[in-house]
Structure 1
Amino acid sequence: MIEVAHLTKRYGAQLAVDDVSFTCEPGTVTGFLGPNGAGKSTTMRMICGLTPPTGGHATVAGRPYRRLPNPGREVGLLLDASAQHPGRTGRETLALAAQLLGVPESRVGDLLALVDLPASAARKRVGAYSLGMRQRLGLAQALLGEPRALILDEPANGLDPEGIFWMRGLLRDFADRGGTVLLSSHLLREVEAVADRLVMIGNGRILAQGAKDELLAGAGTRVRALDPGALHRALAAAGLAHTPAGGGALLVDADAEAVGRAAAAAGLVLLELGSRGAHGLEEMFLSLTTTPEGTAR
């Protein structure tokens, strides 16, 4: 369980995080979304005790991070994949962390296998790693202490599509086994694919939060017809509110069945009909973060 209550952070006259509150429950992945400079990383650093808050507090497993007796056994962190000693090998990095956490060194090999870093890569110095390899090593280190929670800031940076798909499965499996995941990412489609809950932040303030399905439930239907003008007239005649969506498509404030019936009654040939789906999160994100309140400084 991760609980954030009224976290606030000022840097002189700049209010970087403004009264942020949310909860991440066991068994869930929470996507933490916002434009650059919105306050995501600062919030995560306050949760982890790396940045002292001006106001409010955060707890992990019921305690402030700094009061956890062995933090790595409760929460795994990956806040900056580049913050690893470049002179150590991947295996040495994990072996040292295992000693500090008090876990068997046998877990080092298990975690290297889990994150798909082969023996040849484990023998290399971290300074020679690509960003994707550093991310995999960072995930291994976060999981080393068998924590109940993960806090990850942009963990997909540097991963190829196969790696992103792999990471999605790893995080989903962790949550399905009762773990808690707080995931910050700019890859909206990937967050939508794995997250149960969403927290959107802009200019240091929470703009929206809740269960993903509930937030996107009002996304409506996306439809495109061979004759766009006739489709517009058919929807208007049926009393279905709609707006342009680009590419000749319309977004309709109704379910797919109602839209389909209106099009069928007008004898229209449809080229596309369905939930906003993959477009939903992206469009909601843009609509919230491009307003004066949500635009990043």
Structure 2
Amino acid sequence: MITVDHLTKRYGARTVVSDVSFTCTPGSVTGFLGPNGAGKSTTLRALVGLTVPTSGTATIAGRAHRDLPNAGRQVGVLLDAGAQHAGRTGRETLTLTAMVLGVDTERVDEVLGQVGLAGRPAGTRVGSYSLGMRQRLGLAGALLGDPEVLVLDEPANGLDPEGIWWMRGLLRGFADRGGTVLLSSHQLREVEAVADQLVVISGGRIVAQGSKTELLGRRGTVVRGPDRAVLARALQTAGIAVSAGDDDALVADADPLAVGQAAAAAGAVLTELGQAGGEGLEELFRALTASPGTGTQQPAVAA
């Protein structure tokens, strides 16, 4: 179980994560999504003890990462696949990790096979690895201690389509055996394919969270007009939340009758008014992380 509770992180006067709360339960994959600079990496670093929160907590099984006995046996972490010694082989890298964790070195060859690096790649120096091979080695390191929780930041970077399909099965299998996965990624279609829960962060704050079914099944009203900004202001003045839709459309969080009445009261001209269907993750992501009335992403607070 991962629990992030009212987490805030400031650097001087700059707030990079503000009052963030969410949970990740055993047997599930949680997709942690947001644009660049939204606060994802800071949140993950706080969770695994690399950043000290200004306030709030981030715990695993009810304890801060630093308080977990032999944390690597309970939490597998991959935040930067490039942070590996270029002069060591893949097997040497994992053997050293196994020694630190107190894991039998036989486990090294087991996870090398699991991530597709058995044989010649295991004896090759990491400096000659492709990015995809480094990602596989990083996943092997995360799995080495046979943890119950995985915390992964962009693990699919550099993987080819076959590798992405493989990783999807790996994470799904881990969760189906009772593990907890927190997955941050920009590859939205892959997150949509594997995740059970979604947490979306923008500008350092959570803007949506819930099950994939709940979030992607949401409905609203698609509305267009000659002046998008005027229409957005009219709806907001009436207390109707709006977000960016496809092309020049807005998606209003109200039924078509209420939207039409709000537009008419403000004298805003409409060219389209209709019920929205369920959104895919890419459309939902864009709507939640865009500034209403402009279709552009909200200003980033921090990386």
Q: TM-score, normalised by structure 1?
A: 0.80
Q: 5 Å matches for 1:1-297?
A: 1-219=1-219, 245=246, 280-291=280-291, 294-297=298-301
SS in 2 for 1:31: strand
Tell me the distance in 1 between the aligned counterparts of 2:245 and 2:40: 32
Query: 1-side partners of 2:27 and 2:3: how far apart?
Result: 14
Which consecutive residues of structure 1, in runs of 5 or more, have no partner in the other structure?
223-242, 247-252, 255-274
CA distance in 1, matches of 2:151, 2:219: 29
2:217 aligned counterpart, secondary structure: helix
Question: What is the alpha-carbon distance in structure 1 between the residues aligned to residue 155 and residue 219 of structure 2?
Answer: 28
TM-score by length of 2: 0.78
Amino acid at match of 2:286: L
Distance of 2:283 and 2:37 partners within structure 1? 20
**Is contact 1:31-1:183 (8 Å) kept?**
yes
User: Is the partner of 1:218 in helix, strand or coil?
Assistant: coil
Change (3 A) 1:285 1:152: same
Equivalent-residue separation in structure 1 for 2:54 and 2:147 (angstroms): 28
| Distance of aligned partners of 1:10 and 1:193 in 2 relative to their CA distance in 1, 3 Å threshold | same
In percent, how many aligned pairs have the same letter? 68
Is 2:245–2:287's contact at 8 Å kept on the other side of the alignment?
no
Q: CA deviation at 1:296?
A: 2.1
RMSD (CA atoms): 2.5
Instruction: Give the whole-Å Cα distance in 2 for the aligned partners of 1:93 and 1:11.
Output: 34
Matches of 1:158 and 1:188 in 2, distance apart?
Answer: 15
2: CA distance, partners of 1:276 / 1:133: 40
Aligned 8 A contact 1:75 1:147 in 2: yes
Q: Which runs of 4+ in 1 moved over 3 A?
A: 219-222, 243-246, 292-295
